Each structure stands twice: as C-alpha cells, then as structure tokens.
Amino acid sequence: MDQKFNELLETLSGLDYSGMYESDFLLTWEKSEEELRALYATADALRNLRERGISTRIFDSGLAVSLFRDNSTRTRFSFASGSNMLGLQLQDLDEGKSQIAHGETVRETATMISFMADVIGIRDDMYIGKGDAYMREVANSVAESYADGVLDHRPTLVSLQSDMDHPTQSTADILYLINEFGGIENLRGKKVAVTWAYSPSYGKPLSCPQSLITLLPRFGMDVTLAHPEGYDLMPELVDIAGKFAAESGATFKKTHSMEEAFEGADIVIPKSWAPYAAMEKRTNLYAEGDDEGIKALEKELLAQNATHQDWCTTRELMEKTAHGQETIYMHPLPADISGLSCEHGEVDADVFEDHRVGMYKEASYKPYAIAAMIFLQKCKNPVETLKALEAAGKDRWYQA
Amino acid sequence: MDQKFNELLETLSGLDYSGMYESDFLLTWEKSEEELRALYATADALRNLRERGISTRIFDSGLAVSLFRDNSTRTRFSFASGSNMLGLQLQDLDEGKSQIAHGETVRETATMISFMADVIGIRDDMYIGKGDAYMREVANSVAESYADGVLDHRPTLVSLQSDMDHPTQSTADILYLINEFGGIENLRGKKVAVTWAYSPSYGKPLSCPQSLITLLPRFGMDVTLAHPEGYDLMPELVDIAGKFAAESGATFKKTHSMEEAFEGADIVIPKSWAPYAAMEKRTNLYAEGDDEGIKALEKELLAQNATHQDWCTTRELMEKTAHGQETIYMHPLPADISGLSCEHGEVDADVFEDHRVGMYKEASYKPYAIAAMIFLQKCKNPVETLKALEAAGKDRWYQA
Amino acid sequence: MDQKFNELLETLSGLDYSGMYESDFLLTWEKSEEELRALYATADALRNLRERGISTRIFDSGLAVSLFRDNSTRTRFSFASGSNMLGLQLQDLDEGKSQIAHGETVRETATMISFMADVIGIRDDMYIGKGDAYMREVANSVAESYADGVLDHRPTLVSLQSDMDHPTQSTADILYLINEFGGIENLRGKKVAVTWAYSPSYGKPLSCPQSLITLLPRFGMDVTLAHPEGYDLMPELVDIAGKFAAESGATFKKTHSMEEAFEGADIVIPKSWAPYAAMEKRTNLYAEGDDEGIKALEKELLAQNATHQDWCTTRELMEKTAHGQETIYMHPLPADISGLSCEHGEVDADVFEDHRVGMYKEASYKPYAIAAMIFLQKCKNPVETLKALEAAGKDRWYQA
C-alpha cells in the first residue's frame, strides 16, 4: 500500500462523516468540520489512486445528470471528469438559461430525470435568493419520489455553484492550499485576503467570495474581506464567517481598502463580484421580465464599477504582502487580465503570469473535489471501498 | 435466484418471441401478442436485476444513437438510461427539427452514424404520414448497408414516438398496469377510457391515444375512445383497434362524450391531441413552406379547441367512474393542469395531485421498456443471458 | 489466433513507430513511412478484433475531448466511435464556431479541459493559416502544463481536419484502397486522379485534396492533380507532394484538365475546393470582421465556380479511365450530386450510385483510423497490448 494513500485512509478512519452518506452537498457551512476533513482526504485519496493508474470506478453503469443554468466550461468538464472516474455517464439536461422553474414543474422534471440517476449536479448562480432554493426543491422532490416508491434509490445532489456557495470551487481551493502547505493543520494562522477586484464586465456571482469567507476561517485561517463601499456580500453569510472565525480562534476582518487586506497576507484571492443589493434588484427585474430595467441596471453597475479601476492586483501591491511576489495569488479563472483579455482588469498580466501555474494546479483539484463528494454520498464504507479499489488494482489505462 | 425473477424467466421461456432478435421496434401492432408479453417480462426482469443492484450490462462498449426531431426531456432521459444500463454510450445526432430528410440523404446519414451503433432511437412525431415512414427508410438503409458489407452488423431501431405509434410510452403504460393489477391476465375485462382533453396549446401528437387503443384491447381490455367531433385519429388505426378487440373478445367503442367514456371506467387516460385532418394539412403546409398557412391553421385550431374547454377531468367527472377518486387516472406527462400550468387545461389540479404518484410510477417504466426492446433485439438467448447476468451477480454500484 | 490478425501483428512487429507513443497526429507528412504503415496495420487489427466481437477497451474510464469549429456529422460520429471502442467517454467542448482564440485563452482552456482527458480531437479547417497553428498551440499548452506538474499526464491530440491536412480522412481512404487492392504493396504504380469538381456551394476546405497528394505518392502511387486555373492548393504542400513522389519513384503531375487527369486512372477522387488565395483573403476578412467583404468575396467565388460547371464526373468521363465504370471513384462525402442534391454538382447521379457502396466502405474505416491513432499514441507496446486483448477475448457484446 502506498504510504500517502495509507495516511489518508488513517485520517479518514479517525473522522465521523457518516452524515454524508445519501446526503447532498449544497453549502459547506451545513457540513461539520470532520465531514469537510473527510472530503479533503477522500479527494486526495482518489487522486492518489488515479495518478497511480488504479481504477476508481465504483459504478458499472449509471448516470450523472447535470443542469447548467449558466455558461460553464471548467465546472462542466470537472463534473464530467469526476463522474467519469467513478463510472458514471454524463447526461445533460438543457433547460435553457432564462427559465426560473418552480413548483410542480421542478418536482416533475426532477423525478423524470432521476429514474437511473445516481447524482445530479446543478449550477444556478445567477439569481440571488433562487439558486440554492431551486437545488433544495430538486433535493426535496427526489426525496419525496423515493419515499413514494417512484424511485428505487434517491440520487444525491452536488451544487456546482449557487447564489450562496460554490462548494466545488472552494474545495478545490482549500485542497490546493492543503497540498501546498503540507497539511490542513498548517493552514492555521495563515492570513488570507479575500478582496473585490475591478472587472469591465457586469454581474459576476457573489458565491465565490462567499464560499471562501465561510470556509477558510473554520480551519484557523485569518481572513480579511475587502471591497469598495456598496459591494456587500449576503449579510447572513458574512455573519457566518465571523461566527466560524470566533469558533476556531481565527480572525475575520472587513475593510474597504484592498491595500489593507494585502498587508502581510500569506494568500491573496482578489476577484470581481456584483453588489448584493444590485443582484437582488436584478433578480426581481428578471422575474418581472423588465428588459428595460435590466439594461438600465447594467449601465448603472458598469459605471459604478468604473470608479474602482484601482482595485487591480499589481506587482507593487503584491509587495505589501507577507512574501512579496512569492505570496500565493489565487483565482478560480477565467480572470480579467489587464492588457491581455481587457484594457483594465482584475490583475496585471505580469502578476497573473507569475502565479499562472499555481492557479492551474488550484483548478486541477476540482474534478477530485466533485468525485469525492459523490463518493462519500454514495459509499456506505468509504475507507473499505478505497482499500478494496487499491487492492483490486484494476488498471485505469491498460498497457500490456 | 430471486422468486419474482424466476417467475419472469419462466414466463419468458414459455413464449415465442424469436422474431424480435435483430428486428426493430416501430409499431406494437406489428408484434405478436407473445412478443409483447416477452417484452413486458423482460422489462420487469431487467428492473428486478437493477433494483437488486446487479449489473445488466451486455455491452462492454458500443453506441446508442438518438435522433430527436421534436423536443423531449422524458424520452431522451429514458433512452439514455435504458441504453446506459446495457452498457451503451449515448450519441445524439442533432439534425435540427425542421428538416424532413429523404432519399439519398437518409440512406447516407443512416449509414455514416451506424459503423459502431448497436441501436438507433428516433423520435419523429410531428408530421402525419412522415414519422414512421422516415424510420422505415432508416431501417431499410442500415439493412442495405449491412447486406452490402458496409456495416459489420445491423443496428436495430427503436421508435421513440412516430406519427402513428408511441411504443415506449404504451409499453410503460401497460407495465404500470400489469404491476398495479398483479399480472397481465388481470387486465382482461378492465374498462379503459381513452379520451381527448382540452389544452390551450396546439397540435399535440395523435400517437399517444393511437398507441393505447391499438394495444390495450389485445389483452382483453374494454376500450372506449372519446373525443369531440372532428378530432378523429388516423382511421386505419381505429380499425386496427376494433379488429384487436374482436379477436380478444373485448369491446372497443367510440363516443363523442367524455362523460360516457368515464362511466364505469376502471382506468381513465384523458389527453389532448390534434385533429387528424388538421395535422395532415399542417404537414402539407410545412412541405410547401407556407408559413402564413401554418399560422392561420394554428389560429383556427386554437379557436376550435377553445369550444371544448369542458373536456377537463374534474373530481366530479371522476365520480362517474367505477371507483370514483380511486379509479386510475393516467397521463404520459407533462399535463396541462388547470390553475397550475395554465388557466384551463386537461385536468384539475386536485385530480392531478390525487394521481401524481401513480403517473410518476407509470413514467418509471419507460427506461426499462426501452432497455427491454434493445435487449430482445440484440440477444439471441434472452433467458440464458438474463440467467447469466444474475449468476454473475456483478455489482452495478460497488460497495465494499 | 486469427490468421489475418496474426499477419497484422507480424507486420507491426517489423516496423519502427516508437515515435508515435505520447505524440500527436496532426499532419501525415510529419510521420515516417513506417509510422504510417504501423497506423494502417493497427487500424486493421482493431477492426479485426471488433468484428470478431472481442473487446478493444484499454481504458476503464477516461475522456476523449472533442472540439469542432465547423459542422460535422461523420467525423463527430467517427471520433465518438473510435474513442468508445477504446473505453473513452466523449466530452464535447462547444466553443462556438466563429471564435479564433489564441494566446492565454487557448493555454488556459486547453489545460482546464485536460485534467482527465486522454485525447483531444480538434476540427478547425475553415481558416487558412489558423487551423493547424491552433492545434499546435493546444498541443504546446498541454505539454507545458504537464511539464509544470499541473497535469499528471499529457493528453495526445488528433487532428480531425485542419486547414492543411485531413489525416483521419486520408487514413480511411488509404485503408480502403489497401483492403481493396489486397495490401499496401499493391498500391505501387496505381494511377490516381485527384481533381477539383464543380460545386454550387462555396469555400470547401483544401485539406481533403492536400491530404491525398501528400500521402498517396509515399506509397508509390502516381498522382495527377487537376484543377481549373486559379484553384491552387497551398504551394508548400504541392511541393511536398512532388518531393515524396520523387523519393518513392512515383510520378506527381499537375494539369488544368479534368479529362487529362482521368486518362488511364485506376482511381479518381474528384471533389470541390476553394482557391487558396481566396481562402487566405477570407481568413483576413474574418479577422477584420469585414462582413461586407466576406459577402462580396462569396459572390465573386460563386461566379468563378459557375464558369467551371463542366468539372463534373460523368459516365462519359469515367470511360477515359483505365477500367471505365469499374475504376474506383472515391469521395469523402457528402457529395454534391447533379440532379439529386443540386442541379449541377460534383458528380452525376448514375456515377455516384455506381460507386456508392465503395464510398460507404471508404467511410467505414474512419472510426478505426481514429482509434488506431489514439491506440498508438497511448500504448507503449501496441503489439503486446493487441495480443493481450485477443487472448483475454472479452466479449464486446455479451451473449449467453
């Protein structure tokens, strides 16, 4: 048995994550710290098997259903990859983006796609107050159809980004950090700047920064959230961040200065997002079908953004951090890169290039994050199953 | 060996369905009664294996090609599911909806997609006189290419709904009834109302009611077909329904009163459809590219529909049936539900809710119906193969 | 062991094709003659196993990513089929057709789709000077991400048609000829007419004829390239054709007369293409977003085409060939057939029908061509692996 793999299984064995079996993965703050630790160990264990060429298939057949209500390349491929390595075939439900379905339609569609679905992955991040609610409606629908004897098993859900959280992204982010710093314990006391950044585009989701501030403090990281006035996140999630920080003995600070957040940071994660209040307004305009109102709001928000072009990560700004250019700069990608993908953006091209390989590695954890979520939700005995997969040693890629 | 499974194999062993091997499944009335019984037993046997967690894969690799010339979520997922449980990967041929291909184009395309296709599923229900004809053209094309030595095997076809029949739906319907009534023999003498219902939309396919009236009488069910004057089905299929009823000693009646059809019924299946003559006209207008004519016809048909808003299933109407609110109400879904999905529709919301779980169960048989069609068309010895699958007992979903 | 299979393995054993492992397949003229011979033997060996019902899966899971920047049915299905027979699941990256991505975007996207991709297939044939360059950018990107430790393996690339070459088509073409003539040695001295043909449509790719003139002379075939004045191919590829002919002792001639090319030919391959200079101009107009210019160019080219309607294969013209109507007529399909798919086209309907079965057989080799490219790029020991697959004798399609 591989030593790293062995250590991961030992870690897993010491944790209580029994609540994850046959559950869903929608919001990290609904998961216990042990469940999250189990998730990270499982993701690393699956990666370990895969990189040693050992098959991680637990499904001989079965479907992984995806429903993307927003464009996606990265997450789509990550879901396809994570499902495929477990043996599931991707089947996309293309409902169109504009539709906010509810009630009978959701219940019926959720059931109709689930007769042989083992997992359902949903991305619904565009409408504040709607994305997570929609996922819960789907989750309740399939639970009900299972209870009614319509479904012979209940497919589990994985959020591929809602209006509130982006758990597969934040799991990839922390897996990257765990592996960079040589263990989750080493994250304690690290200072992280989660900051807004200028973008020439409009309406980027809040779920990325929200997923970070609600997760990192739980493992003892000192988080500073920075954004211009008016660019608030959902207030209840900022509260959760503070509460988690208090519980773990970490700090959670807010500021309206990017520079202040960068000061002494070990890790900086600057990214654009839209103001919460504006997104709430937009959701209502969409619900009313008010196209004129949407256009007016867009114009207003772009003008508001434009007054904050100085929120850009430069090498000069990086000098303020704990390790200068060596400090970890993260981004879920794609980034708006000044002088490359746009005139003024979230980050200067030289800083982006300095940290490009790191960001690619960060992204590389997402398929494993998704696979681990599915694995823990579908396996009653994850440790035994991982052991059995290693013992079987079936080639993923056969070579005589 | 599981007792239910054992019984199903015994049933299968007593039937002659040898004609299904390497054949297609386009119209149920082209199949013998024994072939249909074999289909139902096979579907239940595959479901039995699946629900016991036993792999039903007979294909190590291979493609199931789908061609949808009309929107579909339910049937698309059912085809994906049914194919996947046998080990086939879905590959969709997206030709666009408006095109009525024929001749060289059909032969060429059919061959080009078939080099590694084991099965081809087609939905082409919009144009009267065209859908089934198109499927036969595809079937003949691949047969010819096989005979010519171009294909090393002949992919078999499954109709996923034509202008004439909707065999995967009617198979799901009767499987539901067989399982509800505890055996196909118990369907004999049951009174079924296949009736038109009002819908605010236009041009729903005739193949749903046609698939029911041509199938249910074969198993001794007494069918009453009801619709307003002018909403005729294809006359040759109504003739077939009568002929089958006569052969099995059942009754087949026609009426222009929904109430009369409901009178004493054990099962009611009300659903909207378009008048045959209008659909024929529409097909010609499409062929001529007469957009104005299509719009005018649509307007005319909606107006004609609107005079029949009383064709709606209410609790009051359900009282006329044999078992009142307990009588089975079926619908292939999605239904137009009054006060829920539209102002006036096919069914009242309370009746729909009373029977929702039943309709979901009805739908749950469709993936198995499709899998069984493919199974019988691709397996020379279905009984032996099913036995071998059970004996192998490979986990569909591995758990250590 | 099957005799034919045995012979193919013996052929393979005598060849040096070690350079193909972990390499890409973009241009046939970058491959050695031995590598090409190995490709043909491998394609035939995989076909032999498949036709004997023996599984050719070497992947237990894994993704084959496709990126089509031009419409495609045939090549799309061939890639799906070839991938599927090796055990890979197709995952399409739908980037939209109009976009010519470059730089950071290509590197990032290439990496993001590759975390679990074993192979990437790209079709990018519309823009002269761009297609092959784009593929190289993707190839370099994934190589870099592998070197950087971002990817744990490097996915290999297969060109599904570029602006320069169409290697999966030309491989299918030569496999058809090898099998028709009973061996690659029998191609030597055969006279092939690669000629332009009239089409009422505009801008057909140059890569088809270019792939033929650069490949066939390498195996001793005497190629005559014919087209009207002004319909030049890329000059450097015409030079390569001449060089290969000189090396193998074959002849390579150019003419502006279709009749002259047909004179005494054993094989004729007439197909429309666009003039090189015009395609270069079009690429620039697209880059400039000059819609008016594109429309004007299209009009001009259609008018230019129209002066060459006599470049059509007729039975009369076939009489000029070595074997009259028995001479092999090839086309990658779909063809513009006079009186069938258009008024005046590339070929008369009777000639097309005479040779239809042959063209279908020609096409049937494409999935195997693709599978063989992937196989040789992913297998360190192809001979041993093929032997092991045969010895394992796992059913592709299980029958009890």
DSSP B208-221: HHHHHHTTGGGGT-
Phi, psi of C123, rounded to the nearest 5 degrees: -115, 120
Q: Choose among B396, B325, B383, B309: nearest CA to B13.
A: B383
Say what the pLDDT of residue A105 is: 85
Using CB atoms within 10 Å of the CB of residue A337, give its burial: 0 to 12 exposed, 13 to 18 middle, 19+ buried. buried
Q: How far apart are CA A75 and CA A98, in angstroms?
A: 19
Q: Please enumerate in sequence order all residues whose Cβ is within 8 A of that of C338, keeping only pairs 6 or more positions apart, or say none.
A: C312, C344, C345, C346, C347, C348, C349
Interface test with C, best of A79, A354, A356, A359 (most C CBs within 10 A): A356
Q: Tell me: do B285 and B370 sit in the same domain.
A: no
Q: Tell me: do A195 and A335 sit in the same domain.
A: yes
For residue A205, what is the enclosing H or E element?
none
Say what the pLDDT of residue C388 is: 97
B174 contacts B40 by C-beta, under 8 angstroms: yes
Total tally of structural domains belonging to chain A: 2
Q: How far apart are CA B12 and CA B36, in angstroms?
A: 11
B340 and A63 within 8 Å at the Cβ level: the answer is: no
- What are the angstrom distances between the C-alpha of B260 and each of B254, B351, C43? 10, 19, 66
Amino acid at B353: E
Which of B93, B115, B145 is opposite residue C73, by nearest beta carbon? B93
Q: Tell me: do C146 and C183 sit in the same domain.
A: no
Q: Please enumerate in sequence order all residues whose Cβ is within 8 A of that of C345, keeping only pairs 6 or more positions apart, or say none.
A: C197, C198, C199, C200, C312, C335, C336, C337, C338
A61 and B51 within 8 Å at the Cβ level: the answer is: no
Average pLDDT for runs of 10 along chain B of length 400: 95 98 98 98 98 98 92 90 98 65 79 96 91 96 97 97 98 98 98 97 93 98 98 97 98 98 98 93 90 93 94 98 98 94 95 98 98 97 98 94
Residue A398 belongs to some domain of the structure = no
Q: Tell me: do A82 and A174 sit in the same domain.
A: no
Helix ranges (DSSP H) in B269-348: 276-288, 291-306, 315-318
In the block, residue with structure tokens 């009239």: C198
Residue A382 belongs to some domain of the structure = yes
DSSP structural state of residue A312: -
Q: Tell me: do B199 and B301 sit in the same domain.
A: yes
- Chains touching chain C at 3 or more Cβ pairs under 8 angstroms? A, B
Average pLDDT for runs of 10 along chain A of length 400: 95 98 98 98 98 98 92 90 98 65 79 96 91 96 97 97 98 98 98 97 93 98 98 97 98 98 98 93 90 93 94 98 98 94 95 98 98 97 98 94
Q: How far apart are CA C91 and CA C76, in angstroms?
A: 11
Say what the pLDDT of residue A98 is: 38
Q: Tell me: do C269 and C174 sit in the same domain.
A: yes
Residue B272 belongs to some domain of the structure = yes
Residue A400 belongs to some domain of the structure = no
Beta pairing partners, A226? A195, A255
In the predicted structure, residue C98 carries a pLDDT above the cut 60: no
Residue A134 belongs to some domain of the structure = yes
Q: Tell me: do A146 and A194 sit in the same domain.
A: no
Q: Tell me: do A192 and A117 sit in the same domain.
A: no
Helix ranges (DSSP H) in chain C: 3-13, 33-51, 74-84, 104-112, 131-147, 167-181, 207-213, 235-248, 258-262, 276-288, 291-306, 315-318, 349-364, 366-378, 382-392
Average pLDDT, chain C: 95
Chain A CB contacts of B340 below 8 Å: 103-104
- Better-scored residue on pLDDT, A28 or C68: A28
Which of A337, A357, A395 is opposite residue C150, by nearest beta carbon? A357
A340 and C61 within 8 Å at the Cβ level: the answer is: no
Q: Tell me: do B56 and B159 sit in the same domain.
A: yes
Query: Taken in order B261, B267, B269, B275, is the CA torsion positive or negative?
Result: negative
Q: Choose among A202, A227, A198, A228: nearest CA to A312.
A: A198
CATH of the domain at C75: 3.40.50.1370
A398 and C385 within 8 Å at the Cβ level: the answer is: yes
Q: Tell me: do A124 and A189 sit in the same domain.
A: no
B397 and A378 within 8 Å at the Cβ level: the answer is: yes
| Domain of A229, in residue numbers | 169-363
Q: State the nearest Cα–Cα gap between B44 and chain C, in angstroms.
A: 19
Q: Which residues of C touch A (CB under 8 A)?
A: 57-63, 65, 89, 91, 93, 103-105, 108-109, 111-113, 115-118, 145, 148-152, 378-381, 384-385, 387-388
B47 contacts B181 by C-beta, under 8 angstroms: no
Q: How far apart are CA B59 and CA B88, in angstroms?
A: 6
Q: Read off the pTM.
A: 0.96
Q: Tell me: do B178 and B318 sit in the same domain.
A: yes
B157 contacts B106 by C-beta, under 8 angstroms: no
Interface test with B, best of C47, C61, C342, C360 (most B CBs within 10 A): C360
pLDDT class of C179 with cuts at 50, 70, 90: very high
Residue C400 belongs to some domain of the structure = no
Phi, psi of C111, rounded to the nearest 5 degrees: -70, -45
Q: Which residues of A touch C (CB under 8 A)?
A: 50-51, 55-57, 73-74, 77-78, 80-81, 84-87, 89-90, 333-334, 337, 340-341, 357, 360-361, 363-364, 366-367, 394-400
Q: How far apart are CA C285 and CA C168, in angstroms?
A: 29
Average pLDDT, chain B: 95
Q: How far apart are CA B202 and CA B299, in angstroms?
A: 9
Q: Tell me: do B82 and B184 sit in the same domain.
A: no
Say what the pLDDT of residue C73 is: 84
SS3 of residue A96 by DSSP: coil
The residue of chain A with its CA nearest to that of C94 is A73
